[in-house]
Amino acid sequence: MDQFLCAEKSRQSGVDIIGSASEHQTYIAIECPPPWESYDLDSKGIPDNLRALGKEVYDNYDRYQTRFLLIHNDQLKQDNCTRVLVFRKPTSFATAYEKQEFHLKDIQAVAPLVQQIKMGEPGDANPVVEVPSRDIFVCTHGSRDRCCSRFGAPIYYKARKLLTELGFEHTRIWQASHIGGHRMAPTAIDFPSARYYGYLDADSLRSVLTHSGDIQCMATIYRGWGLLPKAAQVLEKQLLLTHGWDWLNYEVTARVLSHNDEESFNQVELACKLPEDELQTYRADVVADESGTVQLKGSCTSEKFSNITPYRIHNLERNRLLC
């Protein structure tokens, strides 16, 4: 019997995947080669000090709001060097997370670095001054879900080849551990913008890398922008499809003004800075479309189905001001 593949069933359902991007205050990506255990920080290459620190951070997520990821690219690996990429969420208008990169002598030094960054403890690690401007993480974490390796690994290798063909010298592609959303495999995060993608194929991958082609491809592959609350991600997608690729260059901030207990109704406000010092604000109701609900399994091994309900935009208003 063929193995059940959650991503195939999800893709066939046609349900919109917008609003599925995670919103973390900080991402810490650690260079560590696979194989990775289902819970990545239990992997063989992770030292005890980092594993214990990861447990503390996750057990106190409301305090630290931090997500760890493991990344690897055998073409980029350097001897006696463990890269750590840190992405921090800005507090106001922005196009991306704030990025720092550290080069450590080995993975044992990662835990002290994290304590320095997240807990304010003394340390002597300093960020590298010149680093590539863009890092794309493709989830290939097959021990977490078979779809991530089945669909993620081929896209990862296609992306490496495509970068070479395009001559992109300031972009790196990484295999990554679990980023969420198995049923949307192959999935990826484009850092430092922290835009999430799913259902990637060769054509949509090229568009994501080059910010060109038919913007409507984003209608099916765009999971949302990790800078924004989930309800605001729905509105932001509509604005992206309206404005085109230039939208990716605009500084944005957003907030949820009100919502009901079930969050089936949300009033969202999004502001963006356009060229020539123009400030544009959008306000809309983001409402669950119960008629579009489908039942899907969130992973290949899940025994339960979950209701997946898309959201729709209502009562969109726009205002323009000068900054």
- Domain of 74, CATH number, reads 3.40.30.10
Dihedral (C-alpha) 103, 108, 112, 113: value to the nearest 10 degrees? Answer: 20
The full DSSP string for 247-262 is GGGSEEEEEEEEE-TT
The per-residue pLDDT for 120 is: 85
3-state SS, one letter per residue, for 121-168: CCCCCCCCCCCCCEEEEEECCCCCCHHHHHCHHHHHHHHHHHHHHHCC
Half-sphere exposure in the Cβ direction for 312 (13 Å, CA): 8
Residue type, 264: S
Domain boundary among 187, 219, 251: 219
Task: Please give the residue range of the domain that contains residue 313.
Answer: 229-322
The per-residue pLDDT for 1 is: 42
Q: Same domain for 168 and 291?
A: no
Interatomic CA distance for residues 253 and 314, integer angstroms: 20
Q: Same domain for 129 and 254?
A: no
Q: Same domain for 168 and 245?
A: no
How are beta strands 98-104 and 82-88 bridged, if at all?
antiparallel
pTM value is 0.96
Interatomic CA distance for residues 235 and 266, integer angstroms: 11
Q: Same domain for 141 and 95?
A: yes
What's the pLDDT tens digit per position in 222-268?
Answer: 999 999 999 999 999 999 999 999 999 999 999 999 999 999 999 99
Q: Same domain for 153 and 209?
A: yes
Q: Same domain for 77 and 175?
A: yes
Query: Residue 217 — φ and ψ, nearest 5°?
Result: -60, -25
Q: Same domain for 207 and 251?
A: no
Mean pLDDT across the stretch 169-175? Answer: 96
What's the pLDDT tens digit per position in 74-124?
Answer: 999 999 999 999 999 999 999 999 999 999 999 999 999 999 999 888 878
The full DSSP string for 52-73 is HHHHHHHHTHHHH-EEEEEEE-
How many domains does the chain divide into? 2
Q: Same domain for 177 and 45?
A: yes
Domain boundary among 219, 245, 271: 219
Does 43 reside within a domain? yes
The per-residue pLDDT for 93 is: 95
What's the pLDDT tens digit per position in 284-316?
Answer: 999 999 999 999 999 999 999 999 999 999 999
Q: Give the CATH number, domain containing residue 236.
A: 3.10.450
Q: Same domain for 200 and 273?
A: no
**Per-residue pLDDT for 276 more than 80?**
no
Mean pLDDT of the chain: 95
Number of Cβ within 10 Å of residue 163's Cβ equals 16
The 10 Å CB-count burial string (b at 16+, else e) for 266-275 is: bbbbbbbbbe
Mean pLDDT across the stretch 188-197? Answer: 98
- Which band of pLDDT confidence, cut at 50, 70 and 90, is reported for residue 322? low
Number of Cβ within 10 Å of residue 179's Cβ equals 25
**Per-residue pLDDT for 269 more than 80?**
yes
Interatomic CA distance for residues 27 and 273, integer angstroms: 25
Residue of 89, 185, 105 whose CA lies nearest to 140:
185
Domain boundary among 219, 243, 266: 219
Q: Same domain for 211 and 243?
A: no
Does 1 reside within a domain? no
Q: Same domain for 52 and 194?
A: yes
Q: Same domain for 215 and 140?
A: yes
